[in-house]
Amino acid sequence: MQLFHTLRELRAFLDSRSDQRVGFVPTMGNLHAGHCQLVTLAKSHADLVVVSIFVNPLQFGANEDFGSYPRTLESDCEKLQSVGADVVFAPAVEEIYPDFDGRDLHQQIVIQPPPLADDLCGASRPGHFAGVATVVAKLFNMVKPQVAVFGKKDYQQLMVIRALVRQLNFDIEIIAGDTVREPSGLAMSSRNGYLTAAEKSQASQLQQQLLSMKNALLGGRRDYAELCEQASLQLKQQGWQVDYVEIRRQHALTLPNAQTRDWVILAAARLGKTRLIDNCEVSM
pLDDT for position 112: 93
Q: Of 143, 177, 211, which residue constitutes the final position of a domain?
A: 177
The verdict on residue 184 lying in a domain is: no
Are residues 172 and 200 part of one domain? no
Q: Is 35 a catalytic residue?
A: yes
pLDDT for position 107: 85
pLDDT for position 61: 85
Are residues 172 and 195 part of one domain? no
Q: Of 177, 203, 225, which residue constitutes the final position of a domain?
A: 177
The verdict on residue 183 lying in a domain is: no
Domain count, the chain: 2
Are residues 110 and 13 part of one domain? yes
The verdict on residue 284 lying in a domain is: no
Are residues 201 and 156 part of one domain? no
Are residues 227 and 106 part of one domain? no
Are residues 259 and 134 part of one domain? no
Q: Do the beta carbons of residue 172 and residue 140 sit within 8 Å?
A: yes
Q: pTM for this one? A: 0.94
The verdict on residue 256 lying in a domain is: yes
Are residues 102 and 26 part of one domain? yes
Task: Report the C-alpha gap between 23 and 13 in whole angstroms.
Answer: 14
Are residues 137 and 235 part of one domain? no
Are residues 157 and 36 part of one domain? yes
Question: Residue 269: phi, psi to the nearest 5?
Answer: -155, 155
Are residues 260 and 198 part of one domain? yes
Structural domain of 243: 190-279
The verdict on residue 231 lying in a domain is: yes
Identify any residues that bridge with 7 across adjacent strands, giving them in sequence order. none
Catalytic residue among 5, 35, 45, 128: 35
The verdict on residue 182 lying in a domain is: no
Domain CATH code at residue 211: 3.30.1300.10
Task: Report the C-alpha gap between 142 and 121 in whole angstroms.
Answer: 27
pLDDT for position 268: 97
Domain CATH code at residue 24: 3.40.50.620
The verdict on residue 275 lying in a domain is: yes
Long-range contacts of 249-258 (CB under 8 A, 24+ apart): 250/281, 250/283, 251/159, 252/116, 252/159, 253/116, 253/119, 253/120, 253/155, 253/156, 253/159, 254/116, 255/224, 256/224, 258/222
Are residues 203 and 167 part of one domain? no
Q: Of 151, 177, 203, which residue constitutes the final position of a domain?
A: 177
pLDDT for position 44: 97
The verdict on residue 50 lying in a domain is: yes
The CA-atom distances, in angstroms, between 41 and each of 45, 142, 147, 269, 281 are 7, 21, 11, 29, 20
Identify any residues that bridge with 144 across adjacent strands, giving them in sequence order. none
pLDDT per position in the chain (284 positions), as tens?
999 999 999 999 999 999 999 999 999 999 999 999 999 999 999 999 999 999 999 998 887 888 888 899 999 999 999 999 999 999 999 999 998 876 778 888 999 999 999 999 999 899 999 999 999 999 999 999 999 999 999 999 999 999 999 999 999 999 999 999 999 999 999 899 899 999 999 999 999 999 999 999 999 999 999 999 999 999 999 999 999 999 999 988 999 988 899 999 999 999 999 999 999 999 98
Are residues 131 and 58 part of one domain? yes
